[in-house]
């Protein structure tokens, strides 16, 4: 067994030549063995002897070349046993055992070549898909220059079926993309104009235009290819452990062979021992298992840079998480729309989004996206001007609209009470506020948050199920915000206001305290030092965080945190299979050697038995390509049902958030106005909301429970529905009992209690449902797979 360095051209060339020789030797050796058998049966024993001897010498010579090259690199493998066995066969004139060994060696090499090729196919597929040319618009029309000539700002055409060549922004028409090669997601996704997309995805729809944001070298796909190129080049510590097994195996083999010869006086006994101790394919089963694990991870959007990273991940016990962009989405989201006057929340959002269309502010995209999600029609503003650090102003239908800081909009006037109260609340919650002014008056505000990823709570549960003992959140954010996020997701420790240098100290301290392997997960440039310092650095690289990806050992190119737990499961399974392959194979070989030493296995039978052992162990190693599957549950039609439920939740959430606003305003509204607001709220509760909740309870939950075989996943949610139905009924009775003049102070207390309860339970309930629906929609275009312990 030999592993060449790859750092210079010569070893790589020699390895390629030897691989070609192996492929030629297999048919030659089979033919030579067959010719010898025919000759021996026909009475030509001398011809058979000559053919078998020649075959043995040729294959032994091939192995000698490899052994010499390995010794030059300070490596010794069990090929030496095979060479000694074949030389012994020639010297003892045991030509048939020598020929059988030769055939089995060449067959084993062919098996290894096939297994290695199959194990690396996911990695090779990424490299093979790399585009070579682009379609670029220019003064002379559409041209097809090399991809290396693309610069940021170029307008490109992506034709149906083509790989997106560089990172860019969609312009013109929407794009339908197949992201499965990078993310493992089977369903096509639709991206709207203005959306940024990563290179490497495939156009699964009509042609679309793209404005390049990066060169080919600086794009996401090129970065992934660089990571993949390095992934297969390093040798895992466990594979080096397999080499150490070989070093122990050599003296053991020669010792047993020598004792057998000494006690029996028959050199053929020693030959038989060495024949059954030629497990070169056996030892190579370890790297096959490791590379298979790397390949499987790549197929799930997890790029592992080498076998060492995979093995270290298999032993992980502590995981440190950055917050922003890792545990949270990292993208601002409009969580609430607060109004202070007569303008409705949708109208306030529409005005703000229309103005923000032309703003470069980081919040602008979130505001426009929120308006699109609600189906609002936007106008094109006029006289748009950006005030750095203050906000943006413009004209819509003759009205001056401003979005930004309250002090700037008020222009020296005193701020309304609602503005001050909202400022205090958002400061405590850690959210951001963009106030909206119409004709100089502050009419409301947009509350923006960096929401916790929908899959984060489930991802952390999966990590604990995978064997992670301690989970820590490390962030540069304030303690108040960090505590809010940490408490919601259930980490073991929260470390806030930590600079990049302090994160390095935390990595070292956690390693010292746990005595185990520490994993650091992050996505930003500030995470790069700690990613490099950790035993295993994991970068959330879906957004192309180049510095973090280059510093990390593992890059998750799909924007899903729960892939980390999947990576750990793949790593542990691959290492377990590698260990099984080595221990089982060597154990069986030792038993066969003892049998041969006692004369129970002649050389020919021993060679055949050893090859059967090698084949079995290599096939076992290839199991690492498969999944460590839990029992699967499939709900038909979820590809349509899941997105429809998500869209319904988006529609309902704006009204659910108004429940708290209504409760807050009861004391300030005139009784008749309060009555109208309460009746509107009740109409929403008994209408759209109750209809949706009943549909889930009576249709969706039973479908999931039926497919799963029990209601373990849906029973808690169904019990929450009972409480929601009770509160809706209670609120309706309170409203129906109100006089025509409206509620008084005594009514306010009961109404607020029910509204606050409904708001809290509905927010929590919908978050739980979203987590479940996202988990259920992880696989299958036509169904849904749910991980359940087998």
DSSP-assigned states of every residue in 162-179: PBP-S-EEEESS-EEEE-
Distance of alpha carbon 746 from alpha carbon 544, whole angstroms:
57
Interval 138-155 mean pLDDT: 90
Share of the chain above pLDDT 70, in %: 84
> Measuring CA to CA, which residue among 232, 281, 243, 233 is closest to residue 110?
281
pLDDT-derived band at 716, boundaries 50, 70, 90? confident
Position 224 scores a pLDDT of: 61
Pairwise CA distance, residues 678 & 427, whole Å: 29
> Residue 243 CB: number of other CB atoms within 10 A?
17
The pLDDT assigned to 689 comes to: 93
Question: With the C-alpha atoms ordered 206, 207, 208, 211, is the resulting torsion angle positive or negative?
Answer: positive
Helix (H/G/I), strand (E/B), else coil: 160 = coil
DSSP 381: P
DSSP 84-112: HHHHHHHHTT-HHHHHHHHHHHHHHHHHH
DSSP secondary structure letter of residue 741: T
Radius of gyration of the chain (CA): 34
pLDDT at 693: 92
Contacts within 8 Å (CB) and 24+ apart, 636-643? 636/707, 636/782, 636/783, 637/782, 637/783, 638/776, 638/777, 638/780, 638/782, 638/783, 638/784, 639/187, 639/777, 639/780, 639/781, 639/782, 639/783, 641/700, 642/773, 642/776, 642/777, 642/784
Please report the pLDDT score of residue 197 as a whole number: 86
Q: In this predicted structure, which of 128-137, 390-399, 757-766 has the lowest mean pLDDT?
A: 128-137
Torsion angles phi and psi, residue 311, rounded to 5:
-65, -40
Strand, coil or helix: what is 467?
A: coil
Q: Quick check: 521 and 468 in contact, CB under 8 A?
A: no
Q: Give tens-digit pLDDT for 399-456.
A: 999 999 898 998 888 888 888 888 888 877 778 889 999 988 999 999 988 888 888 8
What's the pLDDT score for residue 403? 94
| Average pLDDT of the residues in 268-285 | 74
Rounded CA-CA distance 234/5 in Å is 9
How wide is the angle at C-alpha 191 spanned by C-alphas 188 and 195, nearest 5°? 145
Distance separating alpha carbons of residues 537 and 150, to the nearest angstrom: 32
What are residue 403's DSSP bridge partners? 392, 436
Would you state the torsion angle of the CA atoms of residues 645, 650, 652, 658, taken in this order, to the nearest 10 degrees?
Answer: 160
DSSP string, 232-278: TTS--HHHHHHHHHHHHHHHHHHHHHHHHHHHH--HHHHHHHHHTT-
Q: What pLDDT, on a 0 to 100 scale, did the predictor assign at position 684?
A: 94
State the average pLDDT for the chain: 81
Q: Which is higher by pLDDT, 63 or 437?
A: 437
Q: What percent of the chain lies above the pLDDT cut of 90?
A: 21
Count the Cβ atoms, other than its own, within 10 Å of residue 370: 23
pLDDT band at 786 (very low <50, low <70, confident <90, very high): very low
Q: Tokens in use for 480?
A: 């108040």
Q: Is the CB of residue 402 less than 8 Å from the CB of residue 408?
A: yes
How far is Cα 727 from Cα 740, in angstroms, rounded to an integer? 23
CA angle 603, 604, 607 (to 5 degrees): 85
Write down the pLDDT at residue 471: 95
At 534, is the secondary structure helix, strand, or coil? coil
Q: Calculate the alpha carbon distances from 536 to 86, 235, 507, 510, 533 in Å.
A: 44, 16, 11, 13, 8
Query: pLDDT per residue over 291-307, tens digit each?
Result: 788 888 888 888 887 77
3-state percent breakdown (helix, strand, coil) of the chain, nearest 5? 60, 15, 25
Q: Which of 322, 450, 553, 747 is catalytic?
A: 322
CA 355 vs CA 134, 392, 522: distances in Å? 35, 8, 34
pLDDT value of residue 243: 57
Predicted confidence at residue 12, as pLDDT, reads 47
Whether pLDDT at 547 is above 60: no
Contact 104, 16 (CB under 8 A): no
Check pLDDT > 70 for residue 62: yes
Nearest Cα to Cα of residue 615 among 6, 85, 108: 108
Whether residue 326 is predicted with pLDDT greater than 50 in this model: the reply is yes
pLDDT in tens, 741-750: 999 888 888 8
Please state, in angstroms and rounded to a whole number, the distance separating the CA atoms of residues 335 and 363: 12
pLDDT tens sequence across 520-545: 998 765 677 788 888 898 988 655 44
Distance CA 140, CA 290 (A): 51
Q: How many other C-beta atoms are found inside a 10 Å radius of the C-beta of residue 526?
A: 17
The pLDDT value recorded for residue 44 is 85
From 238-252, 356-370, 722-736, 771-785, the region with the lowest mean pLDDT:
771-785
Helix (H, G, I), strand (E, B), or coil: what is residue 492?
Answer: coil
322 is catalytic: yes
Which of 171-175, 595-599, 637-641 has the least mean pLDDT?
637-641
Q: Are 353 and 368 in contact (CB under 8 A)?
A: yes
Mean pLDDT of 577-597: 85
Rounded CA separation 722/718 (Å): 7
- Interval 468-503: pLDDT, tens: 999 999 988 778 788 888 888 889 999 988 877 788
CB count within 10 Å of CB 521 equals 28
Mean predicted confidence (pLDDT) in 388-394: 83
Cα separation values, 380 from 346, 383, 402, 661, 757, Å: 17, 10, 14, 30, 41
* Residue predicted with more confidence, 12 or 268: 268
Contact (CB, 8 A) for 105 and 59: yes
| Range 676-702 average pLDDT | 92
What's 452's DSSP letter? B
Report, as an integer, the average pLDDT of 282-298.
77
473 in Cβ contact with 323 (< 8 Å): yes
pLDDT digits over 200-258, tens only?
788 888 899 999 998 888 776 776 666 555 544 444 454 455 556 666 777 888 899 88
């Amino acid at each position: 067994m030999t592993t060449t360095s790859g750092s210079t051209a010569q070893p790589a060339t020699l390895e390629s030549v030897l691989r070609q020789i192996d492929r030629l030797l297999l048919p030659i050796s089979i033919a030579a063995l067959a010719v010898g058998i025919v000759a021996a049966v026909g009475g030509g024993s001398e011809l058979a002897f000559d053919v078998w001897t020649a075959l043995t010498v040729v294959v032994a010579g091939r192995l000698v070349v490899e052994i010499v090259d390995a010794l030059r690199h300070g490596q010794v493998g069990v090929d030496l046993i095979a060479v000694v066995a074949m030389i012994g066969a020639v010297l003892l004139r045991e030509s048939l055992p020598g020929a059988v060994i030769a055939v089995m060696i060449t067959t084993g090499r062919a098996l290894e070549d096939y297994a290695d090729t199959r194990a690396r196919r996911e990695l090779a597929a990424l490299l093979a898909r790399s585009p070579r040319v682009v379609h670029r618009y220019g003064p002379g029309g559409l041209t097809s220059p090399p991809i290396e000539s693309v610069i940021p700002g170029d307008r490109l055409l992506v034709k149906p079926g083509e790989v997106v060549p560089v990172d860019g922004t969609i312009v013109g028409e929407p794009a339908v993309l197949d992201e499965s090669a990078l993310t493992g997601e089977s369903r096509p996704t639709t991206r709207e104009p203005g959306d940024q997309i990563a290179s490497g995805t495939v156009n699964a729809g009509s042609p679309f235009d793209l404005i390049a944001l990066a060169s080919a070298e600086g794009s996401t796909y090129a970065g992934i290819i660089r990571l993949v190129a390095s992934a297969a080049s390093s040798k895992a510590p466990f594979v080096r452990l397999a080499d150490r097994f070989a070093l122990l195996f050599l003296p053991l083999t020669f010792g047993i062979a020598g004792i057998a010869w000494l006690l029996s006086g028959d050199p053929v006994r020693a030959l038989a021992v060495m024949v059954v101790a030629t497990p070169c394919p056996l030892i190579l089963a370890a790297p096959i298992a490791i590379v298979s694990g790397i390949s499987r991870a790549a197929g799930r959007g997890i790029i592992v840079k080498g076998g060492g990273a995979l093995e270290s991940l298999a032993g992980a016990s502590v995981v440190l998480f950055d917050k922003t962009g890792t545990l949270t989405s990292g993208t601002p989201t409009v969580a609430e729309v607060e109004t202070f006057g007569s303008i409705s929340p949708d109208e306030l959002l529409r005005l703000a989004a229309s103005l923000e269309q032309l703003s470069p502010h980081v919040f602008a995209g979130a505001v426009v996206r929120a308006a699109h999600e609600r189906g609002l029609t936007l106008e094109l503003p006029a006289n748009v001007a950006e005030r750095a650090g203050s906000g943006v102003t413009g004209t819509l239908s003759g009205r001056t609209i401003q979005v930004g800081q309250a002090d700037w909009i008020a222009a020296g006037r005193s701020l309304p009470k609602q503005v001050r109260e909202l400022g205090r609340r958002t400061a405590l919650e850690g959210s951001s506020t963009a106030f909206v002014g119409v004709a100089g008056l502050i009419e409301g505000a947009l509350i923006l948050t960096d929401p916790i990823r929908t899959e984060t709570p489930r991802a952390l549960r999966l990590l604990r199920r995978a064997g992670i003992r301690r989970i820590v959140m490390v962030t540069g954010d304030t303690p108040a915000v960090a505590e809010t996020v940490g408490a919601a997701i259930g980490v073991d420790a929260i470390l806030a206001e930590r600079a990049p240098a302090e994160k390095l100290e935390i990595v070292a301290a956690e390693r010292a305290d746990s005595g185990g392997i520490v994993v650091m997960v992050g996505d930003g440039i500030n995470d790069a030092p700690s990613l490099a310092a950790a035993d295993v650095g994991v970068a959330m690289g879906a957004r192309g965080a180049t510095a973090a990806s280059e510093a990390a050992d593992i890059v998750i190119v799909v924007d899903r945190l729960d892939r980390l737990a999947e990576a750990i499961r793949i790593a542990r399974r691959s290492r377990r299979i590698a260990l099984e392959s080595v221990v089982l194979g060597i154990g069986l070989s030792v038993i066969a050697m003892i049998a041969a030493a006692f004369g129970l296995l002649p050389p020919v039978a021993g060679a055949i038995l050893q090859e059967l052992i090698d084949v079995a162990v290599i096939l076992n190693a290839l199991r690492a390509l498969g999944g460590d599957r839990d029992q699967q549950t499939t709900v038909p039609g979820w590809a349509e049902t899941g997105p429809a439920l998500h869209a319904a939740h988006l529609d309902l959430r704006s009204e659910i958030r108004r429940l708290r606003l209504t409760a807050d305003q009861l004391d300030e509204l005139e009784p008749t106005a309060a009555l109208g607001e309460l009746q509107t709220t009740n109409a929403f509760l008994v209408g759209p909301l109750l209809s949706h909740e009943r549909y889930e309870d009576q249709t969706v939950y039973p479908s999931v429970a039926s497919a799963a075989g029990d209601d373990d996943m849906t029973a808690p949610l169904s019990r929450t529905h009972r409480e929601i139905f009770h509160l809706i009924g209670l609120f309706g009775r309170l409203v129906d009992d109100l006089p025509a003049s409206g509620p008084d102070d005594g009514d306010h207390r009961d109404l607020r209690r029910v509204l606050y309860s409904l708001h809290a339970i509905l927010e929590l309930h919908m978050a739980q449902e979203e987590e479940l629906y996202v988990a259920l929609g992880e696989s299958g275009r036509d169904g849904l797979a749910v991980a359940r312990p087998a």
